[in-house]
Amino acid sequence: MIIGASGMGARILCSGVRHSAIEVVKKIIAAALCSGIAWYVLEQTELASFTKAIVYGVTGVVSPEIINGIIKLGAKFAKNPAKFFEDNKSK
């Protein structure tokens, strides 16, 4: 989780955009939570520790996009669950 939070911290520092202290804290906590979820998913996989660390860091860096995508997916599903599954069948 620290790796994901550090990745978000680096993204904020390098972005050049000014953020309030509350925004920074919220983004870093969200990144840590996303990284923690990635850790839970990858915990028992047969990957090198370095590879897992990269995944955790990248997950933290792109956590706002991941969360927004999940929210959009959930909204699409909530609107019409049957159509959601019809549209996403593999062809």
Does some domain include residue 7? yes
Whether 55 is in a domain gets the answer yes
**73 belongs to a structural domain:** no
Count of domains observed in the chain: 1
Beta-carbon contacts of residue 12 (< 8 Å; ≥ 6 apart): 19, 24, 27, 28
The answer as to whether 71 is a domain residue is no
- Flag whether 88 is in a domain: no
With respect to residue 75, please indicate whether it lies within any of the assigned structural domains. Answer: no
Side chain identity at 53, as an amino acid letter? A
Give me the helix-helix angle, 2-15 and 49-61, nearest 10°.
50
Residue 50: domain span: 2-62
Is 67 among the domain residues? Answer: no
For the whole model, what pTM was predicted? 0.77
In a domain, residue 78? The reply is no
In tens digits, the chain (91 residues) has pLDDT values of 889 999 999 999 999 899 999 999 999 999 999 999 999 999 889 999 999 999 999 999 999 999 999 999 899 888 888 877 776 666 5
